[in-house]
Structure 1
Amino acid sequence: MTFPRGTANLSRSTFRAPRSRQANRVQAGFASLLVAATTALAAFFAPNVARAAPPAELKLDYAYYSPESLVIKRNGWLEQALAPQHTDVKWVLSLGSNRALEYLNSGAIDIGSTAGLAAVLAKANGNPIRSVYVFSRPEWTALVVRKDSPIKTLADLKGKKIAATKGTDPFLFTLRALHTAGLSRDDVEIVNLQHPDGRTALANSQVDAWAGLDPHMAAAQIDDGAKLLYRNVDFNTWGLLNAREDFIRDHPETLAQVLKVYEKARVWIAAHPDETAKIVAEESKLSLPVAKLQLSRNDFSHPQLGAQQLVALKAAAPILVQEQLVKPGTDLNQVIDALIDVKSAQPVFAANGQ
């Protein structure tokens, strides 16, 4: 059948129209879906944006056993880094891991410097922290005796008084050292003193030995002639920077800025050892030779958390069970896995090509 020319043209037009209207409806449908999806995504991520808002105040510690913290505080680098986001910086002095962990647990600080095994003990007992950075691989503790002490071996410590700060690496170091000689905490009298007071007690013959911590230990060696009775670098756990879990969750960008500044300090220390020793000496009010001895016992070349720390902490953890410092049945390997946070510092190391 044939149609007149006009009729044929009309027929083609007539059959195109429904397809165009259908296409428009499909296009409109996709547009509606896109708007709905965008709205849903915005609603989903809105709480995250709110949580990531900069804090009005950042509270963190500085410690004589953490050279980076002293360098950062002296140079005002953190205040400079956080000024654009209007975050005030509050520095709190920690005289030992036990103090830093108490401050973290109470919320007095958001970020604190501790020894690795002390952080494990705190985490096992409910402290809401995670370790995010290695500020040093130190040999910062040993068992110290007076220069004229008759004590020559670990076995000689049986029945003696040892000054140690409970909950710190020197305290846990002491327990591990005693175990190597077949002794336990019950075979000695541990006198709970903060690190500077332990040094004084040793010098005044109020205790027979002291679980030292640098820079006070270095000062005892240089200024008092004290001797290191027992050294074991493998019993010195890593110097870790820890953050409260809520701070990690709510302020990841600010945490990354803090870690970036710590990295700046770590690199600066390697390039400026004499200037670093001067800062440590002035901040801790000890002599320059003492500060240099302390720094000589620190390795600043391993800032990233990972397998090394996991292995070292899991090897050290049994002492916490043996000395009944954690609840029976505590899975310390699980605690350590939960403590070590390798993700928070990844953006910093990635930016530096590490």
Structure 2
Amino acid sequence: MKTVTLGLVGVGRIGSMHADNIARLNDAMKPEGIEVRLRLTDVAEDHARTVAHSLGAEFLPSVEALLASGLDGLVVATGTGTHPGLIKAGMDAGIPVFCEKPVALNVADALPVLDYIRDKNGVVQIGHQRRFDAGYLEARRAYQAGELGWIHSLRAVTCDMAPPPVEFLATSGGLFRDCSVHDFDILRWLTGREIVEVYAKGSNNGDPEIGAVGDVDTALALVTFDDGTVGTVSATRYNGAGHDVRLEIQGSSRSLMVGLDDRTALASAEPGVLFPSGEPHTTFAGRFDQAYRSEMAAFVELVLGRRDNPCTPEDAVAASRVADAAQASLATGLPVRVAGAVPSRVA
């Protein structure tokens, strides 16, 4: 039996989800002769001890103690501001790192981290979980197989059912950086093309405190790709119908929609149409439950050297560049070119 020991830093909302998913990996991997063990730490020690106990994991009192315990990989699920330091700590320990997006609070802070990773010849997987969602995977396959013809329009939608705490939004970097960056990443990944220009607008019709901390609750971005194709990326914090994430890809031969199923958070206005009739998702964790599990399984495979990196830090920073341009356009009211984007096909 091959043992893989993962260390997890941060057991807040998303960290607790990752911890649970790591604990579940054994059900799928033990038949392959792989046992996954989990050690974790968090500054909220009592909560972390409770999570560890519930999952049969080991609690350690600090990041330093965690890294010194002999890990095969490190999972970072802490606040964005701590990502650079923890990624570097993983590189210094000589182990692969999984880090939730983004690499850093902004692109300028991320670039030295990329240099550090390269200098250490390190391996870092960034958490853009939509790359593991079955619908997005099928859409990418169909596009690359030429089944859609040439693409004339793309429409990406990400709608939260309710906003997170204003305290979080005050430090999130803005709706495009916090939320729509997932859409920017998936559009690059699916099409294999760079987004070179963004024109954004936003509004605030919900809690005025969101505007008071410098954010918007709803926004729309018109994106232009390096081959001239156009698309839209929309997001809101107030979709009372449920958590709604979709991507419509319209081609010259065929069109596809990711996220259109019986749990889609919308209703038809046409008489007699009952679809969709299921209970909508209420959170991103529910919508992408299987994708998050597959993402963590992929990290274990990466640790074992069995697969290529499914989302590199360079990928994540490229999506963040688009988000930065969208935030700049939102602030200025003008179209903004994406810094560093050149007309070339994404690998």
Bigger Rg, structure 1 or 2: 1
TM range (shorter): 0.3 to 0.5
**TM-score, normalized by length of structure 2?**
0.32
Which has a greater percent of strand?
A: 2
- Name the structure, 1 or 2, with higher relative contact order (CA <8 Å, separation 6+): 1
